[in-house]
Chain A
Amino acid sequence: GAGVSQSPRYKVAKRGQDVALRCDPISGHVSLFWYQQALGQGPEFLTYFQNEAQLDKSGLPSDRFFAERPEGSVSTLKIQRTQQEDSAVYLCASSLRTVSSYEQYFGPGTRLTVT
């Protein structure tokens, strides 16, 4: 079946521009996560949704980062006034249930380069 998809796969933004990254989770998955992965590092948690509710945004690095999932399916991660340190791969993952025993399914990521 279809997995998690993300778009665009690559994004180049000039410093100061706003960007929007889209995630289409697996249909029916309740949980949705966003992670940021810098070069050579493991992914780091940004934010978590249970259906349309954003239950944890403790990993968002600044108030320039904003995420939404208005209908409990597709999610958008928005970064305002991009900075060079925002350059990274942004990964989206979804999970069928909200308990720890369920695995997360990851998309291929969006590679953001801020110039």
Chain B
Amino acid sequence: DAKTTQPNSMESNEEEPVHLPCNHSTISGTDYIHWYRQLPSQGPEYVIHGLTSNVNNRMASLAIAEDRKSSTLILHRATLRDAAVYYCILRAAYSGAGSYQLTFGKGTKLSVIP
């Protein structure tokens, strides 16, 4: 599986936008870019995913570089509830093994300052 690189930690002030970067220079043409987050003492939670075009949903926006070698998760107004570990994950569209598991790295720990 192609690897992703994320900063270990980031800080943001409450009610300000947050841009969480992810590098994935070895991404293949059929890899989806997924973002999950894990709040303290909870299981991971899906945030957003995309293939080539930028995506928006109620939680966040995903900006994908034109060459797809990097992406940015955008939280438009950080709240204290957004403090979590954010994982950027590549998922192959087709798996010969028939399995579609998520391969997590260490993610970015986001702290939100009141």
Complex contact B45–A42 (CB within 8 A): no
Complex contact B98–A103 (CB within 8 A): no
> What interface size band does chain A fall in?
20 to 34
Complex contact B44–A91 (CB within 8 A): yes
Q: Digit string of A55-80 for contact with B (CB within 8 Å is 1, else 0)?
A: 11011000000000000000000000
A104 to B95, CA, bound (A): 16
Complex contact A91–B101 (CB within 8 A): no
Query: Known contacts A50-B98, A56-B101; is A99 also within 8 Å of B46 by CB?
Result: no
Complex contact B104–A44 (CB within 8 A): yes
Within A34-53, which residues are at the interface with B (CB < 8 Å)? 35, 41-45, 48, 50
Complex contact B100–A103 (CB within 8 A): no
- Across-interface contacts of B97 in A (CB, < 8 A): 55-56, 58
Complex contact A42–B104 (CB within 8 A): yes
Complex contact B101–A33 (CB within 8 A): yes
Within A86-114, which residues are at the interface with B (CB < 8 Å)? 91, 93, 95, 98-101, 103-109
- Across-interface contacts of A4 in B (CB, < 8 A): 43
B60 to chain A, nearest CB (A): 13
> What interface size band does chain B fall in?
20 to 34
Complex contact B106–A41 (CB within 8 A): yes
Contact of B43 among A41, A55, A56, A106 (CB under 8 A): A106
Q: Among the interface residues A48, A50, A91, A100, which one has the most CB atoms of the partner chain B within 10 A?
A: A100
- Across-interface contacts of A100 in B (CB, < 8 A): 32, 91-95, 100
Q: Digit string of A8-27 for contact with B (CB within 8 Å is 1, else 0)?
A: 00000000000000000000
A104 to B92, CA, bound (A): 14
List 5 tightest A-B contacts by C-beta distance, closest first.
A42-B104, A106-B43, A56-B99, A103-B46, A45-B101
**Which residues of A come within 8 Å of B, CB atoms?**
4, 31, 33, 35, 41-45, 48, 50, 55-56, 58-59, 91, 93, 95, 98-101, 103-109
